[in-house]
Amino acid sequence: MSYCLNPYCRAPQNPDAAKFCSTCGFKLLLGDRYRALQSLARGGFGRTFLAVDEYKPSRPSCVIKQFFPQSHNVYDPEHARALFQREAVQLEALGEHPQIPQLLAHFEQAEYQYLVQEFIGGANLFQETAKSGSFSEEQVWCLLNDLLPVITFIHSHQVIHRDIKPQNILRRAATQQFVLVDFGAAKTISGADSSQTGTSIGSPVFVAPEQAIGKAIFASDLYSLGVTCIYLLTQIPPADLFDTQEGGWQWQQHLKRPVSPALGSILDKLLQGAVKRRYQSAADVLRDLNAPSVMGALKLSTDGYRSATQTAQRVNKTGLARSPKQPFPPALALETMAPVNQSLQGTAPPRWVCTQTLTDHSSWVRSVVIHPNGQSLASGSGDRTIKIWDLATGTLRHTLAANAGWIRAIAVSPNGQTIASCNNDRRLMLWRWETGKQLQTLDGHTDWARAVCFSPNGQRLASGSQDKTVRLWHLPTGNVERVLAGHTHWVIAVAFSPNGRTIASGSRDKTIRVWDSKTGALIHVLEGHQDAVNAIAISPDGRTLASASDDGSLRLWDLPTGKLKQVLSGHEGAVNALAIDPNGVTLVSGSQDTTIKLWSLETGRLLNSLAGHTNWVWSVAVGALSHAKDSDRQTVIVSGSWDATVKVWRQQD
């Protein structure tokens, strides 16, 4: 069935393939691409529809949001367009986070504004509790640990959501991960308006006092999250939990199952009406939530956390399960380090410590590289910059500004003179490492570029893109030498073999493809991962290819034959990053579980687990720190994380 988008249509139902509404003549295909199937919701400022994208062969589901204010007395068309454009800009930036719906398109048609977003299959938490009953303490703890990093991400972009409530938190059916939706009420804070009174907006029973009078701040979202939690625990409307005589929340006496004093104290602090007595940041809540006292009260040791996860999985049919792929909270990641180091059958592995934490980035760090001379490192971030650091001291040398958008990936040329980067657009940029001067822009992809690497001789560059291709560039001329096509989803990882004769690419289509870099001929298709391939690395001898996936595994392949050698497991979440040390002995991986793991490339044995990041590890690099004497070179690991830090790790005697 095709649904007419005309708000005044008397009979909006139409046949599946109709192009125009048989009742009012309204065009049914939005942007000649998106077809609405049914109405999902209507609010004061618009309507949402379940739709399909007819441009793609699989006709994937999506959501259409139509801006349609119900009060015509206050409707200013120009102001409405400005508000809708602002929401689109917000969603484009925030949709990069996997727990926020991705913006697919926005435009005007027939004088109405539309947003098209990723469809999140799954129930919201209001629906879940209506079907399956109130949350337990462990479920609330899991919710907070999963959602607070999302709120941190939103606030780092200077956005206040302003409408956090059970209806706007969905559990993605495919992964059981919580997703925060509906940014229609969100507000971007700038220096000019941060102290000004705005409009009172949001769902009244969930909003903080200051938000109710138009003065929302970041802590207002934390208040709404607290109200959401006590609703999930009690299933009682928040208005019935607030004591107007005392001016505070009276929720614990309504619990069907008591919670620990530790968690109760955290929720009470989230619910403070006075801003100065409330948590000021999501990071503060996470720190208290994972403090030893809370963990002890919840009895969630490493085994206890797994037990809680398994318990949630047993009620999966009710929609309340948590995926085992979800990361361990930071406190548990720290606790798991010692047992791993003690499990090596009496062999004492090298001891690694974090010697520097670099904090000048203001957003997630997606990519890190070490200069070939071992004296500096570079990091690319969601704050739209590349920073060059002194590797020995951690001093910031200079900053390269990539105005096009977030830095997706960076690579350094073999001679160390050039950095290549791909941003949140189609182009690749080349920079001078020592000066930060922009040298060249390469434009040829038809969708965002997501991966980049240099050939061993430095004359060619390979890039992977959301347009499902790998492009090989001849750097002296800036021309595209060859386009490698065959993947059926985004290409998000590329790597040259040490002799430059082959190139490998990893994709969201769950495969790795190995190509002849000279002819473009496909040599192997490596299959076996159950989810997107996020990272690949090739050993210095060219014999082994390592791959990492959203399925939480690492795989080692014999590159000449394409045969699988070994599957490595040990991470408790998606593996996002890989690197092999220059000697070809150790494989390093970084994961959604916040840890970095070291593996023997020869045996696949887990050697070490490094904990310290407080959010996903997005990137790792291995190199040799160069001191005054060339003979005195120490192996170092550099990692970048969603926590906006770069960490430098060294071996200790």
Tens digits of residue pLDDT in 41-66: 776 667 899 999 998 888 999 999 99
Helical ranges in 182-247 per DSSP H = 209-212, 218-234
3 state DSSP class of 422: strand
Contact 615, 643 (CB under 8 A): yes
Q: Convert 45-60 to b/e letters by CB count within 10 Å (16 or more is b).
A: bbbbbebbbeeeeeee
3 state DSSP class of 87: helix
Q: Is the pLDDT of residue 296 over 80?
A: no
Fold equal for 125-326 and 336-345+364-652: no
Task: Quote the pLDDT of residue 424.
Answer: 74
* Average pLDDT rounded to a whole number, residues 495-513: 96
CA torsion, ordered 11, 15, 17, 19, to nearest 10 deg: -30
Which pLDDT tens digit goes with each residue over 530-580?
999 999 999 999 999 999 998 899 999 999 999 999 999 989 888 999 999
How far is residue 519's CA from residue 305's CA, in Å, rounded to a whole number? 51
Task: Quote the pLDDT of residue 92.
Answer: 84
Contact 646, 640 (CB under 8 A): yes
Closest-CA residue to 410 (of 444, 366, 373): 366
Contact 222, 278 (CB under 8 A): yes
* Average pLDDT rounded to a whole number, residues 502-520: 95
3 state DSSP class of 578: strand
Query: Which of 32, 53, 76, 163 is flagged as catalytic?
Result: 163
Which of the pair, 322 or 284, is modelled with greater confidence? 284
Instruction: Give the model's confidence band at 492: pLDDT under 50 very low, under 70 low, under 90 confident, else very high.
Output: very high
Longest dimension (CA), the chain: 82
Contact 164, 206 (CB under 8 A): yes
Instruction: Give the model's confidence band at 21: pLDDT under 50 very low, under 70 low, under 90 confident, else very high.
Output: very high
Query: What number of other Cβ atoms are within 10 A of residue 131's Cβ?
Result: 11
Q: Is 613 left (phi over 0), alpha (psi -120 to 50) or beta?
A: beta
Task: Quote the pLDDT of residue 327.
Answer: 36
Q: Which helix (H) or strand (E) holds 248?
A: strand 248-249
Query: Domain-by-domain residue ranges, the chain?
Result: 2-118, 125-326, 336-345+364-652
How far is residue 549's CA from residue 78's CA, in Å, rounded to a whole number? 46
Side-chain half-sphere of 163: how many Cα atoms within 13 Å?
A: 14
Contact 431, 400 (CB under 8 A): yes
Contact 224, 202 (CB under 8 A): yes
Which pLDDT tens digit goes with each residue over 245-274?
888 899 999 998 889 999 999 999 999 999
Helical ranges in 315-404 per DSSP H = 330-341
Contact 418, 397 (CB under 8 A): no
* Average pLDDT rounded to a whole number, residues 193-211: 68
Task: Quote the pLDDT of residue 329.
Answer: 36
Query: What number of other Cβ atoms are within 10 A of residue 312's Cβ?
Result: 21
Strand locations in 304-395, DSSP E? 351-358, 365-370, 376-381, 385-390
Q: Work out the angle at residue 526's Cα, subtended by the Cα atoms of residues 427 and 581, and round it to the nearest 5 degrees.
A: 70
Q: Is the pLDDT of residue 238 over 90?
A: yes
* Average pLDDT rounded to a whole number, residues 385-414: 88
Task: Quote the pLDDT of residue 41.
Answer: 79
Backbone φ, ψ for residue 634 (5° rounding): -110, 135
What is the chain's length?
Answer: 653
Task: Quote the pLDDT of residue 111.
Answer: 81
For the ranges 3-7, 306-310, 407-411, 478-482, which has the lowest average pLDDT?
306-310
How far, rounded to the nearest angstrom, does the alpha carbon of residue 232 sit from its chain's CA centroid? 26
Q: Between 282-289 and 137-156, two packed helices, what is the crossing angle to 10 degrees?
A: 150
Token reading at 197: 């009174």
Task: Quote the pLDDT of residue 384.
Answer: 86
Burial of 29 (0-12, 13-18, 19+ CB in 10 A): middle
Task: Quote the pLDDT of residue 12.
Answer: 94
For the ranges 107-116, 304-313, 474-483, which has the lowest average pLDDT?
304-313
* Average pLDDT rounded to a whole number, residues 22-50: 88
Closest-CA residue to 149 (of 609, 612, 594): 594
Q: What one-character-per-residue DSSP string does 137-192 give?
A: HHHHHHHHHHHHHHHHHHHHTTEE----SGGGEEE-TTT--EEE---TT-EE--TT
336-345+364-652 belongs to CATH 2.130.10.10: yes
Backbone φ, ψ for residue 268 (5° rounding): -60, -35
Average pLDDT, the chain: 85
2-118 belongs to CATH 3.40.190.10: no
Q: Which helix (H) or strand (E) holds 85?
A: helix 77-94
- Superfamily name with CATH number, domain 125-326: Transferase(Phosphotransferase) domain 1 (1.10.510.10)
Closest-CA residue to 43 (of 11, 67, 72): 67
Token reading at 571: 């991470």
How far is residue 547's CA from residue 507's CA, in Å, rounded to a whole number? 11
How far is residue 638's CA from residue 620's CA, in Å, rounded to a whole number? 6
Task: Quote the pLDDT of residue 281.
Answer: 94
Q: Is the pLDDT of residue 346 over 60?
A: no
Q: Is the pLDDT of residue 208 over 70?
A: yes
Is there a catalytic annotation at residue 288?
no
